Structure 1
Amino acid sequence: MGLSIDGLISGQDTTTLINNLIAVEAIPQTLLKGKVTAAQSYTTAVQGLNTQVATLADAATKAAKPASYDLYKATSSSSQVTATTSAGAAPGVVDVTVGRLAQNQVTVTGPVSTWPDATLTLTNAAGKATVITPASDSLDDVVTAVNAAGLGITATKVAVGAGAFRVQFSSAAPGAANGFTVTGGTVPTTQVKAAQDAQVTLWAGTSAEQAITSSSNTFTNLLPGLDVTVSVVSTTPVTLTVARDDTAITTMASGLVTGLNNIFAVITNRSAVSTTTDSTGKPVTSAGVFAGDSTIRTVNQNLITAASMPVNGHSPSEIGISITKSGTLEFDQGKFAAALAKDPAGTMKTVQEIAGRVATAAAAASDKYDGTLTATITSQESQVKTMGLEITDWDLRLTAKRSSLERTYTAMESRLGELKSQSSWLTSQIASLLPAYTGGSSS
């Protein structure tokens, strides 16, 4: 804390004087702080751009792989039979009829109030028998023992009136393989619903008719990469079709163009030079953080070149990807759809080539180890760190300077105080000598 020496003897505002001297002394530090703020703003802007470019690199890398265009969609002529595609799908069409749905087995006992036997035996569809021994003749103990056996069979006590109950046994999963029998006791049982597989028939009514079964209502890989789920029995043929998903392929191509244009927009906005007026009406020109930046300009040019250069002698504009006068890209969905319909392999190959070039350019800029944008960020962060250390040194230097000035002015005030005391003493001495010189008397 500084000393309070304002106006002690001299009457001067010493604190303000020292502050002004320190402010002059601190001009280099103030300029340095301004450079740090500017560098931090620039670094933040480059980091944001780098993130966008890295995201584009990932998307373009994916779009450059031939497997990314193995995109198919499945359609069904009936809402009661749904079709979806999975890996390995290929074009195809097939008609099916639905003969039956998969179901769980349900078996119930006759009405009982207690279990009359010491045990019961559950035998699965494979012929494996398991003897169940309840803790007592209580139906609750029977239910507990069956459910604890882990046989994939669920027991439930169902009230049927007049104090009587039936025990219901249900297979946990559908399908003929999950069927079972309940034996070994005197309690009568009735199978309410049999365990059964779902069944569809291909080419029904022809000599090639083929029945296919599934333990669930879903048939996996009915065609390569085609999964079908049935919900209603029907003898009316349902047509299932697997075709190339042109919509998904178009979305991939347009997404690549959109990702590029988003980056171009950021670079353009942050490179813009604008003119405003200050409070006095004087024009003030300000430039974006990327204005005149050769690194950013190179990244922009490399990306636009990668996207717009010919592929095997053909311009990307032939499939609807063209460069505009403003330096952005345009995606013509209608033109792309026409090209895809006319030459699907060639069109997809062109998009793959463009995506591969964009991925290379984007990775060169954003690679986390040696990308040009990454290097710029690292350099700026290093400079900010160095300037931060210099600012800290200035803080120490200015603190020492302030202390020195305060000591100087304190000493000056002390010396002025001493001189004032001497002046007062001399004045009093001179005053006492005056009568002797003037002939006066001291009494």
Structure 2
Amino acid sequence: MGISLDGLASGLDTTALISSIIQAEAIPQTLLKNKSYDVQSMVSALQGLNSKVAALATQATAAAKPGALDLFSATTSSDKVVATATAAAKAGSIDFQVNKLAQTQVTVTDKVVGWPYTTMTINSGGQTYTITPLTSSLDDVVNSVNAAGAGVTASKVSVGGGEFRLQFSATKSGAAGAFTISDAGTTFTDVKTAQDAEIALWPGTTAAQTVKSSTNTFTDLLPGVSITAKEVTPAPVTLTVSRDDAGITKLASDLVDGANGIFALVASKAAVSTSTTTSGTTTSAGVFAGDSTVRSVNQSILSAASLPVGTPPRSPSEIGISITKTGTMEFDATKFAAALAADPAGTAAKVQEIAGRIATAATTASDKYTGTLTTTITGQQSEVRDLADRISDWDTRLASRKATLERTYSGLEVALSNMNAQKTWLTSQLAGLSSGSSSS
């Protein structure tokens, strides 16, 4: 702990004096701290950019894969049937009619208060299950059935007057869940029979064929296409699978948006701003201003998105993808739609060529091992650690310097105090001698 002797002998504020000396000698450390802050800001900005570039690399790589633009959508001519297409879908159409919806069997008992019998037999899925409740309690019956794994669940339903009916439901939908249940002296009524959904393909023709499903969904009715029936249809329904122009357009548009996201981020962090205050005008540059690595990454992605495509090479602007005066990309949906309609395969090929180039440029920059941004970030992080060590060394050096100054000034105060005491003593002695001479 430092010794404070402010003004003891000299009247000086030695604490403030030492603080001023340390502050002056700490200027090199302050410069290191400022540099460390700047480097850390750069690291943070580069990490944000790298994340965006990596996301673009993933997006572009997916778009460049064979068949990525072979997108199809499925629709039906009736709101009673919903169609869903997967990536395996191909163009085509088929007529069908929904004749039945799937049902899950539900069977109930007459009204009962207790269960007077000891065993119950359930036939389900080709197997016979004999169930023996622990007691005549309806709750025990329900628990025993539910624990039997017989493909049936039981519930106790209150019907008023202290009476109940037991409901038994199949655990599987459709005919596969059908069951029979019996117990001497008890009547069981099927309130809903087990039934598969049925559709008739090519209805009204000699080629008509019935297809069944345990649910209301028929998978792969056409390759990669499923339908789900919500109601029976009194008239034939047409399922149509066609090229998904909206999906293809969105993929191309999203690719351009992804690249523009990179350009916008770089531009915002490289911008030079000017601010005016009472003390004058200050100009400051963004963290990316003048950085060659960032400039190179930005240019490589811009070139990948805007250079000619196809054979012979043609400008991407012919399919609605063009470069602007500000160095960003622009997507013209109307022009793209016209190109897609005129030449679907050629337009898709051009988009995939652009996607492939963007994927290469973005991966080169963001690869987690060898990416130019990645290695730059690693180097900057190493510099931050080095600066932190140097700043810490300065803390030790300045603490030692402060302790030395405190000892020095404390020693000076003590010495000065001793001198003042000696002066006082000498003054008093001289005064005594003078007084003695006078009295003689």
TM-score normalised by length of structure 2 = 0.92
CA RMSD of aligned residues (A): 2.3
The match for 1:97 is 97
Contact 1:125 1:176 in 2 (8 A): no
The match for 1:345 is 345
The match for 1:5 is 5
State the 1:199 CA deviation: 0.7
State the 1:308 CA deviation: 0.7
Contact 2:80 2:233 in 1 (8 A): no
Q: Equivalences for 1:145-184 in 2 at 5 Å?
A: 145-157=144-156, 167-183=166-182
The match for 2:131 is 132
The match for 1:293 is 291
Aligned residue pairs, count = 438
Contact 2:125 2:151 in 1 (8 A): no
State the 1:68 CA deviation: 2.4
Q: Distance in 1 between matches of 2:241 and 2:61?
A: 27
- For the pair 1:256 / 2:255, whether they are aligned, the reply is yes
Task: Call closer, same or farther: CA 1:119–1:278 in 2, change over 3 Å.
Answer: closer
Residue-by-residue CA offset, 1:8-53 (whole Å, 9 max, x unaligned) = 1122222222222222211111111111111111111111111111
Residue-by-residue CA offset, 1:339-367 (whole Å, 9 max, x unaligned) = 11111111111111111111111111111
The match for 1:333 is 333
Contact 2:72 2:87 in 1 (8 A): no
Give me the identity figure in percent: 56
Contact 1:116 1:187 in 2 (8 A): no
State the 1:130 CA deviation: 3.0
Q: Distance in 1 between matches of 2:160 and 2:50?
A: 74
Q: Equivalences for 1:43-442 in 2 at 5 Å?
A: 43-109=43-109, 118-124=118-124, 126=126, 128-136=127-135, 140-157=139-156, 167-183=166-182, 185-280=184-279, 282-312=280-310, 313-434=313-434, 440-442=438-440
Paired AA for residue 411 in structure 2:
A
Task: Call closer, same or farther: CA 1:56–1:424 in 2, change over 3 Å.
Answer: same
Task: Call closer, same or farther: CA 1:130–1:17 in 2, change over 3 Å.
Answer: closer
Q: Distance in 2 between matches of 1:266 and 1:233?
A: 54
Task: Call closer, same or farther: CA 1:185–1:288 in 2, change over 3 Å.
Answer: same
Paired AA for residue 423 in structure 2:
S
Contact 2:273 2:283 in 1 (8 A): yes
Task: Call closer, same or farther: CA 1:149–1:296 in 2, change over 3 Å.
Answer: same
Contact 2:71 2:87 in 1 (8 A): no
TM-score normalised by length of structure 1 = 0.91
Residue-by-residue CA offset, 1:403-439 (whole Å, 9 max, x unaligned) = 22222222222222222223223323333333676xx
Q: Residue 68 of structure 1: SS of its match in structure 2? A: coil
Paired AA for residue 415 in structure 2:
R
Paired AA for residue 61 in structure 1:
T
Q: Residue 234 of structure 2: SS of its match in structure 1? A: strand
Residue-by-residue CA offset, 1:83-142 (whole Å, 9 max, x unaligned) = 11234211111111111111123344556666565434322364x333333445555554
Q: Residue 236 of structure 2: SS of its match in structure 1? A: strand
Q: Distance in 2 between matches of 1:371 and 1:245?
A: 35
Q: Residue 309 of structure 2: SS of its match in structure 1? A: coil
Residue-by-residue CA offset, 1:309-338 (whole Å, 9 max, x unaligned) = 111212111111100111000000111111
Contact 2:111 2:163 in 1 (8 A): yes
Task: Call closer, same or farther: CA 1:279–1:2 in 2, change over 3 Å.
Answer: farther
